[in-house]
Amino acid sequence: MVTETWADEGSTSINEYANQIWASANKLRGVYQKKDNGNVVLPMVVLRRFECVLEATKDAVVAAFEDDPDLPPEVLCSISGYDFYNTSRFTLSELLNDADNLAENFKAYIDGFSQNVKDILDGGGLKIEGEIDKMDKGGCLYAIVKQYSEMDLSEQTVPSVLMGHIFENLIRRSFVEEGQGEDFTARDIIKLNVSLVTAEGCDDIYKPGRIVTVFDQAAGTGGMLFTAAELLQNLNADMDVRLYGQEFNDVTYAVGKAEMLIKHQDASNFVHTDTFKHDCFPDVKARFVLENPPFGTPWKGDDAKDGQREAVEEEYKKGMDGRWGAGLPDGGDAQLIFLQSAVAKLADDGRAGIISDGTPLTAGSVSNGSSQVRRWLLENDLLDAIVKLPTDMFYDTGITTYIWVIAKRKSPERTGKVQLIDASTFCTKMRKPMGSKRNEITAEDRQAVVRLYTDFEESEHSKIFPTSEFIYQEWTVYRPLQERYQVTQETCERVMADRMFAYDPEREQELADKEPRTAKEEKELAKLLKTHALADAVGGALRAHMDSEAYLEPEGAKAFVHKMLGGLDVDAKAEKRVLELIGTHDLSAPVQHDRRGNVVWDRDKDKELVRLDQDVDEYMEREVVPYVPGAKWVLEEKPDAKRPVVKTGAEIPFTRYFYKYVKPRASEELAAELAEIEAGLDKDMARLFGGDAR
């Protein structure tokens, strides 16, 4: 078991740092609308972060560059100590000494950065040069530069993980509060995720010189990556942690790439891309994959991004040689696509922690892609545990969320098993909420949850099941045909609603009034008129025989229907359909048989979901036959057919396993309480309006 440790535990709150930085937006009033403040705050924070990091070696870099302007970038990087540098003599403080040329000098300062930094500051989601001109014109540039020049954002004061969370806090203020943001993952959730994933099967990470790859395909600002790296390097200082990330949002990508540079990571391993369309590192297999894919993001339909559906479906055609060959979930939620892709990126001993909402647990019918993905995870023994988190943990949603722990190589005691942990009460109320986030997982809460996981024991909060617990088959249950035939209000409405007798009077009138009509419209009108005439004839006959004699034998019912419809323009097919529709299932009626003596089965049939590890005959005899005497059950599965029929699936109804029955209060107790409340209200009314209380 890995013992977790983080250097920034108990450090100054993220919110306090973010408040201090965001206060700079006050200087933008009158020049920027509130919703646009982030256009200045975010690039200025990134710039100042770069400046603070380079401060110790800045003079040496400038001196070397001025001595030889043709020095290769590699040499300047070696002098700066980072994979970036700045060759300008300007700093934010120095810019203030020439207020008349502030904008021009500011741009020259930015131009002095290495190309990788310039790409971040004025490319993609950040556009600092355009904001310089706007602030200069609006008269607030000097005040902004001065305020940021006084901020200490050095690594010593603000460690990288903490800086990442501050960035996310600022991004949330910039965009989420305007309804444009995503579900940014709070650092307490990230720490729990990292702790769970590294709590088992990780003895190898203590080996000297161990190379450990960490991947996030929905990386945001890199919070998962940097948090994991800090924990791993605190556990083994000799470890070589290599981070890989893919991120779609251009602003969060820019921030994440900046931190990759500062953390001495290979910034080319942090890519701005759409994970649905590209695996930018096809040859990379990760020891750890950590992700919080966006909840409810569509991969097809009107709300999906251009080209996503085509890319997803093309990848799916590759089967298990692709990234998500087990199945495609419904188009409105791509979480299980991300989860499959995470598994595809794992090394043979890899482990993953994927955060989701409740949808991936049970969404979809038996043959649906979501069900088949769960089945694949369970049948291949990839699912190690699912942990239910407290509500109100995210900044912009209070929904219930879960961590899926995936393991390519389980310990012997966990093989063939899945652990469910209800950690919904393991949290502490925040003194001051941050958006929708009202709860936080403290270090003590986190350690308690991880202990439940590593102890691997049954308890109030921990349940352990074989993987077969969640795999089921959908059996079709047929009941013998036993009918009572009678014309009633209910059966009459059933007949008239049937497609054989239903018609559209508005469409009929529209076509009748239209002149001229096309040949197709003439055909349609003729069909409507025929159905109208049939409906009038049958409806009139039914109303004339309302609440007629009931028949329990089909022969008598057939004779009744034939007589009722006799003389009308009704063919044998319509007559047979009326007979079927005025029938109602009745166990007191005899079971019907065909001419050969075989049981006739009712067209109405039921479905029963039976766990794969249960004896189906025993289940049916216990759960079905007492209520449907004479029933038969059939597994209508044809997986190898040209058009496969799948009736084996999986679902994980998490809350069912932790349900606790609460006995309702006695009616006498409730009545007494209501009487007491009513008496109190009467007294209050009397005091307010005078008079005696009743």
Average pLDDT (197-215) is 92
Q: Which two tokens stand for residue 526?
A: 């003729």
**According to the model, what pLDDT value does residue 185 have?**
83
Average pLDDT (680-692) is 78
**According to the model, what pLDDT value does residue 416 have?**
97
Instruction: Give yes or no for residue 348 having a pLDDT over 90.
Output: yes
- Between CA 321 and CA 141 the distance in angstroms is 54
- Between CA 479 and CA 51 the distance in angstroms is 77
- Between CA 360 and CA 372 the distance in angstroms is 11
Q: Reduce the DSSP state of residue 585 to 3 states and report it.
A: strand
**According to the model, what pLDDT value does residue 314 have?**
96
Q: Reduce the DSSP state of residue 406 to 3 states and report it.
A: strand
- Between CA 97 and CA 95 the distance in angstroms is 5
Taking only the tens place, the pLDDT of each residue in 566-597 is 889 899 999 999 999 999 999 999 999 999 99
Instruction: Give yes or no for residue 3 having a pLDDT over 60.
Output: no
Instruction: Give yes or no for residue 11 having a pLDDT over 50.
Output: no
Any idea what DSSP says for residue 294? P
Instruction: Give yes or no for residue 71 having a pLDDT over 80.
Output: yes
Average pLDDT (14-34) is 89
Q: Which two tokens stand for residue 57?
A: 């070696």
Q: How far apart, in Å, do the first and last CA atoms of the chain sit?
A: 68
DSSP H/E element including 192: helix 187-197
**According to the model, what pLDDT value does residue 159 have?**
83
**According to the model, what pLDDT value does residue 179 have?**
43
**According to the model, what pLDDT value does residue 7 have?**
52
Taking only the tens place, the pLDDT of each residue in 461-512 is 999 999 999 999 999 999 999 999 999 999 999 999 999 999 899 999 999 9
Q: Which two tokens stand for residue 247?
A: 């991120």
**According to the model, what pLDDT value does residue 10 have?**
43
**Residue located via tokens 């879960």:** 402
**According to the model, what pLDDT value does residue 445 have?**
96
Average pLDDT (72-99) is 96
DSSP H helical ranges for 456-502: 489-497
Average pLDDT (668-691) is 83
**According to the model, what pLDDT value does residue 176 have?**
52
Average pLDDT, the chain: 91
Taking only the tens place, the pLDDT of each residue in 117-175 is 999 998 767 889 999 999 999 999 999 999 999 999 998 888 877 887 788 788 878 76
**According to the model, what pLDDT value does residue 168 have?**
77
Average pLDDT (381-402) is 93
**According to the model, what pLDDT value does residue 665 have?**
83
Tell me: cis bond preceding 480? Omega within 30 of 0 counts.
no
As a whole-number percent, the residues of the chain with pLDDT over 70 amount to 96
Please, are residues 603 and 581 in contact by the beta-carbon 8 Å criterion? Answer: no
- Quickly state the pLDDT bin for 14 (edges 50, 70, 90): confident
Average pLDDT (26-50) is 92
**According to the model, what pLDDT value does residue 679 have?**
86
**According to the model, what pLDDT value does residue 178 have?**
46
**According to the model, what pLDDT value does residue 181 have?**
41
Task: For the beta carbon of residue 598, count every other beta carbon within 10 angstroms.
Answer: 8
Average pLDDT (587-616) is 94
More confident residue, 98 or 209: 98
**According to the model, what pLDDT value does residue 165 have?**
77
Instruction: Note the pTM of the prediction, 2 decimals.
Output: 0.84
Taking only the tens place, the pLDDT of each residue in 424-459 is 999 999 988 877 889 999 999 999 999 999 999 999
The contacts of residue 314 (CB under 8 Å, 6+ apart) are none
> Considering only 90-104, 170-184, 382-396, 509-523, which range has the smallest mean pLDDT?
170-184
Amino acid at 476: T
**According to the model, what pLDDT value does residue 691 have?**
62
Please, are residues 225 and 252 in contact by the beta-carbon 8 Å criterion? Answer: no
**Residue located via tokens 């036959």:** 625
Taking only the tens place, the pLDDT of each residue in 109-119 is 999 999 999 99
Instruction: Give yes or no for residue 693 having a pLDDT over 60.
Output: no
Average pLDDT (347-366) is 96
Q: Reduce the DSSP state of residue 136 to 3 states and report it.
A: helix
Rounded to 5 degrees, what are φ and ψ at 434? -120, 95
Amino acid at 659: Y
- Quickly state the pLDDT bin for 6 (edges 50, 70, 90): low
